[in-house]
Each structure stands twice: as structure tokens, then as C-alpha cells.
Structure 1
């Protein structure tokens, strides 16, 4: 079994999907969390192959980019489907989630309060409900199997759970028109290995 070290801030952020994959796979790793920005800049940034975080160390080899990291761990531990078609369906979900990144970041870091309110309104009333319905359709499109790809848990399911369970806290109505997604989120949350991780992970604001 490889030795894994995951480097990121003391936050869920872009590292949480990899942590969830590790949890679902039952794989041990060292969860290295920077104390603050200065700790990252002074003690860890020079170790990152891309100068960004998160990054993962596997038996001494370092890999950057959050999706590349999560995909590697998922593939290594049976959470990337059982066929090329499963893999394509998983990628479809991951890219659908990635489409949400820019509008969410734009809203989060907007400093003009009036513009931020406008962006939040658009997210709440248009962008997020449309994206959630798209995911709902993809879930249903897998033949009612309860997963986004194939017949078993994959990184796609974990990524949707990770994103949606956070979004619904700030935007509680974003899944109101979804038929499958709310129950799916509850089911993933209740999986023993996921529930165990959620109970013991450090409590952070984001």
C-alpha cells in the first residue's frame, strides 16, 4: 500500500473530495493542514509541484491540482467505475460540478456589496437550481441505480455529496425542484465510512 500525505489548509475547500475518497476507500493517509497562510507560504509552498494547494505526496512523488489528486486516489482504490463508459459518466459529473466553480468564486470574493447581492440572487434563483436539476437528471439517467455511474459508489457520488451538502446550507432552496438528489445526499451521508469521517473531521467554516 502506498504512503499518502495530503497537504492543504485547515479547511474542507478543494481537498475535501480527496479526503472523502480516502474515507470511502478505507485508506489511511497523513492529513497535513497548514496553520495559516504564512505557514503555507513559508513552509510548504516550495514543496508543491505547481506552487498551489492541495497537493498529494505518494511514496515521495508529489502531485498537484485537486481533481488530478482525487481522480488518482479514486482510480487506485476502485472508485472510478468498472468500464470506460463508467469513467466517462463520472467525468461528466465532475465537469458539471466544475462549471459551478467560477460563479461561486466570483460571488464569494466580490467586494462590492451591491454586486455581491446581485450575484447571490442569480446563484440562488437561476444558476444553482438549474445545475442541481441537471445533476438530478444525470442521477436518474443512470437507470435508477442510486449512483451516478455504474452500480456502485464512485468519486462522482462523493463529489456531488461534497458540493451539494455545502451549497444547501447557504442556498437552502437550490434543490427544491429535484426529485432524486435530496434523498441521494442523505444516503451518501449515512454510509458508515462517510458518516465516520464526517463525525471526526475537524470542524471548519469552509
Structure 2
């Protein structure tokens, strides 16, 4: 019996886009419930933690974007072929999460002097740390994928972060990371991902 999925997140990409990419990659049907901010106060109290995203699986609700992504990856066979593969994916995902949080903190900082300081630290420390590691990881894997010889949720999380950093003002220059740039092109060219990217709603973030 097929599971019934409802994925609930705001009408933007944000930290809720990787699960949508997972559904697209797997070709699995789901209800993409995009919540408008004006409707959120009426919905908030019905969610497990009062936050989005929430994945509903056969009527049961589950919060937390990374947990949701990992679950979907496990369900759809996009989680690697071994426990070592899973470890490699988790290392990359943890780096991506830290980079996403740094970018968001900088973006929403109101104090211009502090924002400039955060931007410098982001470019001098966070980008080299995260993308330097990923560049090395891709260099060691001839398939072009992050791990093994097939698509995993680590690949999807990476292109999701690439898109976010571009949307926030081109916070990364992929010319400095040619393997990451080639990876992005390879993943976006996959038929199921290409179709999704062409037809997903246009949002600012």
C-alpha cells in the first residue's frame, strides 16, 4: 500500500526545499501544501512544534526539515548504499546546515557594521571550510556525485544551498570551486530535477 504524503511549508524555498527536491528526484506523488504567511497564525497551533516544515505521512505529522529529508531519502533509496555512505552524506549535510545558518544570520542582521563583519567571516572562513571540503570530496569521486555512483540526498541538499546563496546576493563564486560548479550542472540536468526546477513556483527565497 502506497503511503500518502502531505508536505507543508511556506510558499518559498528556504530550509524547506530539500524535501521537495527529494520527492521530485524519486518521482513520488505528494501534496505540496504551500502556506501563505497570512494563513500561518491559524495553522501554527495544529503543527507539532509550531513551526514549518511538517511532513504528514498517512495522517501522522512530523516536524524538522533535516529529519524529514533523511526519512524521505531512506524511503526513496537516496541515502547511500552503506553506513559509510550515510556517514559521508551526513558530514556534508552538517556543513551545509552550518553554512545556511551563517548566511541567514548575516542576511537578517540589521546592524550594518556587524553585518559587514559577518560577511567577511562568511567569505574568509565558512565558504572555504564548507566548499573546500566538498570540492575535495567531489575530486575523490569520479562519478560526479558526492557519494558513490548515484544520486543521494546530499547532492540535492548541495544544489539547494547553491540556489540559496545565489538568491541572497551571489554569496558564493562557483568559479573558485569548479568541481562544485560541475556537480550543480550535472544534478540540475537530471530529467526529474530539470523538470521540477522549470516548473516550481518562482519565489524570492
TM-score normalized by the length of structure 2: 0.92
User: How far off is 1:105 after superposition?
Assistant: 2.2
Q: Structure 1 stretches of 5 or more lacking a match?
A: none
Partner of 1:163: 161
Q: Is 2:8 the counterpart of 1:3?
A: no
Q: Is 2:87 the counterpart of 1:88?
A: yes
Please give the alpha-carbon distance, in whole angstroms, between the structure 2 residues aligned to 1:164 and 1:120.
Answer: 17
Q: Is 2:145 the counterpart of 1:144?
A: no
Partner of 2:18: 17
Q: Which runs of 4+ in 1 moved over 4 A?
A: none
User: How far off is 1:122 after superposition?
Assistant: 2.8
User: How far off is 1:173 after superposition?
Assistant: 4.8
Partner of 1:123: 122
Please give the alpha-carbon distance, in whole angstroms, between the structure 2 residues aligned to 1:159 and 1:171.
Answer: 18
Contact 1:129 1:175 survives alignment (8 Å): no
Please give the alpha-carbon distance, in whole angstroms, between the structure 2 residues aligned to 1:31 and 1:126.
Answer: 36
Partner of 1:40: 40
User: How far off is 1:24 after superposition?
Assistant: 0.2
User: How far off is 1:172 after superposition?
Assistant: 5.7
RMSD: 1.6
State the Cα deviation string for residues 7-29 of structure 1 (Å, max 9, x = none): 11100011100000000000111
Q: Structure 2 stretches of 5 or more lacking a match?
A: none
Partner of 2:175: 176
User: How far off is 1:95 after superposition?
Assistant: 0.9
User: How far off is 1:103 after superposition?
Assistant: 1.6
Local SS of the residue matching 2:175: coil
Contact 2:14 2:164 survives alignment (8 Å): no
Moved more, 62-71 or 82-91: 82-91
Local SS of the residue matching 2:9: strand
Q: Report how many aligned residue pairs link the two structures.
A: 203
Please give the alpha-carbon distance, in whole angstroms, between the structure 2 residues aligned to 1:95 and 1:12.
Answer: 19
Contact 2:56 2:62 survives alignment (8 Å): yes
